Chains A and B, each alone.
Chain A
Amino acid sequence: MNTKRTMVGGMPMPGVTERVVKAVFLTIICAVVILPFVGVISTSLAPAEEVTKAGGFVMFPTKGIDFTAYRSILSGGTVTQALLISAFVTAVGTTIAVALTCTLGWALSRRGTIGNKALLLLVLISLLFNPGLIPSYLTVQQFGLLNSLWAVIVPVSVSAFNVIVVRSFFVGLPNEIIDAARIDGASEWKLFRYIGLPLSKAVIAVIGLFYGVGYWNSFFNAMLYLNDSAKWPLQLVLRTYVVNGVELGGQDLGLAGEAAPPQTSIQMAILMISVVPILCVYPFIQRHFAKGVLTGAVKG
């Protein structure tokens, strides 16, 4: 191989050894990521006797598919309620967060308006520090939000980082359009609503997806602020019944007079219903994030 190699993008073509090593390396990485998910899906769908025989986790079920675990957690009971709560927190939280982030980002993008620099600085400085656990708790307590779902929604509804990303996108919009609309007599709200928002759909979608995933996944704030287990979102139910292995009794499931499926199946079904919504939005994130978030993050 001492003769001249073909060049690709300024680099010599990789040799056979390098290609094989890379192929093995990447295959292993992908398998390590994917196989656990396959196992979780399999166990949640495997029939009871197969799970019992395997003593827990089933990697490749061979005896057909059984939806009893899903039926038992989705027909009313603890998990169903937690699922509804998580859906509520995610929907309401994302709506509020996107609205607040976009309006603030738009206002900060209007350079030359009164107080613009001071407000921008206020947002930027908040990126440098974290208020800390105890002070945050005292604040939520003082506002009377303890044990309320709003404690999980409101405090994290404005991410300074997202505000900056949205703002830099708005700043990049062509000035001519905004000026033209203003000469035609458009109010600030109309500029925002009919020019800023429609031209920034992609970045708003990404921000919304990130807020959405954040709310859906939020675990610690729920644990910190919600004492009443009737208000628990899915992540806390997941922690209690899957991570800590507390058994779900008949009254926690929604089954009437049917034999409960094995705990492992139920646990994996709970795990699946907390993963599936993320899998559903993942393709959209995947399509958008390279454009929207990355440019904002890299360029500041």
Chain B
Amino acid sequence: MGEKRSLGARLRRDYPVLLLAVPGLLILLAFQYYPLWGNIIAFQDYQPYLGVGKSLWSGFQNFSVIFNGDGEFLNAVKNTLILTLIQTVIVFPAPIVVALVLHSLLSNKLRQFVQTIIYLPHFMSWVIVVAIFQQVLGGTGMINNWLRSHGYSPMHIIGNVEAFRALLTSQVLWKDTGWATILFLAVLSQIDRSLYEASAVDGAGRWRQTWHVTLPGLKPIIILLLILKLGDSLTVGFEQIILQQQAVGVDASDVLDTYVYNNGILGGNWGVAAAVGLVKSAVALALVLSANKIAHRLGEEGVYRG
């Protein structure tokens, strides 16, 4: 019936709906789509006092840090990739293990109690998490005070360049392992009970059931999350690192996002920062799209169809 009406008639009928959409859409357009235009300063010798309109064009000059492999830039790339690798190998499987343990608990009350506790750190800001870690692991922190009072020598963790990656990793584990179990638990609760019963009849014990029933049930969500992670693989620990960079220096801690922030906002190399940011976004988009394609080829659902 709707098809036969004229455009004007449909507009007259639907304008109240459109009016309701306008405020939210304006914000989305202004702060999600409109900023894309700002990327053109990647091709400019951007000067804040001249603005985007009057700054001189510089072609691909800003991209030379990428093409010529500037040391500081390569360092940021290296740190980013190493941290992403750690996150994929250590941080990603952790909630799966915890979810398996929680799922195997017989008492619902106990499970909910543990969930209530381990979800909590997710709602703390990075400032709070970093502050708490300093208090626990710092020079006069909880652990070192205990070590000292029991006659051991204190450990140097906060501000130690060599321990920095381990520190970042443990902070991420502390903050988000619990929360990340939520998706796995949801999927686990949907696995068909009869599969367990059938395998038990066939003589499978608990381990074999976990291996042959539970883990295959988790496979789709694991692949989905890995795809999303691949798309995000150039974005790692920004706020977390910004807060702690002073203590360990740029060499040990710079990632692509902090490189953009330090060079652009703090250092005034607006064009270079924008160029690195632009390339990073483009690569990230390409990664999501290709990971999705790979997933389809492997016969998995992927994030979207297409």
Contact = CB atoms under 8 A, between A and B. Distances in A.
B238 interface: yes
Interface stretch (B67-75, B77-85, B130-138): B130-138
Interface in B229-254: 235, 238-239, 242-244, 246
Given A59-B142, A138-B52, A131 B25 contact: no
Q: Can you list the 9 inter-chain pairs with the closest CB atoms, starting with the nearest?
A: A10-B196, A104-B24, A56-B140, A135-B38, A217-B125, A188-B16, A107-B21, A135-B35, A131-B35
Interface residues of B, number: 96
Nearest to A108: B21
A104 B136 contact: no
A64 interface: no
Contacts of A217: 123-125, 127-128
Contacts of A134: 38-39, 41, 260, 264-265, 270, 273-274, 277
Interface string B264-277: 11000010011001
Interface of B: 2, 7, 10-11, 13-14, 16-18, 20-21, 23-25, 27-28, 30-39, 41, 52, 98, 101-102, 104-106, 114, 116-121, 123-128, 130-132, 134-136, 138, 140-142, 145-146, 174, 178, 182-183, 186, 193-197, 199-200, 205-206, 209, 235, 238-239, 242-244, 246, 257, 260-261, 264-265, 270, 273-274, 277-278, 280-281, 284-285, 288
B244 to A, nearest CB: 8
Contacts of A157: 27
A286 B119 contact: yes
Given A104-B25, A132-B281, A188-B17, A11 B206 contact: yes
Contacts of A267: 131
Nearest to B277: A132
11 contacts: A7-B200, A26-B114, A29-B118, A113-B13, A114-B10, A119-B21, A154-B31, A155-B31, A188-B16, A217-B125, A242-B131
Contacts, number: 266
**Majority secondary structure of chain A interface residues (helix, strand, loop or mixed):** helix
Interface residues of A, number: 98
Given A132-B260, A132-B278, A160-B32, 19 more contacts: A10-B193, A25-B101, A33-B118, A39-B135, A39-B136, A40-B132, A54-B145, A101-B24, A104-B20, A108-B21, A110-B14, A113-B18, A128-B285, A133-B277, A138-B52, A154-B27, A154-B31, A219-B239, A289-B182
Interface stretch (A87-95, A173-181, A251-259, A271-279): A271-279
A207 to B, nearest CB: 13
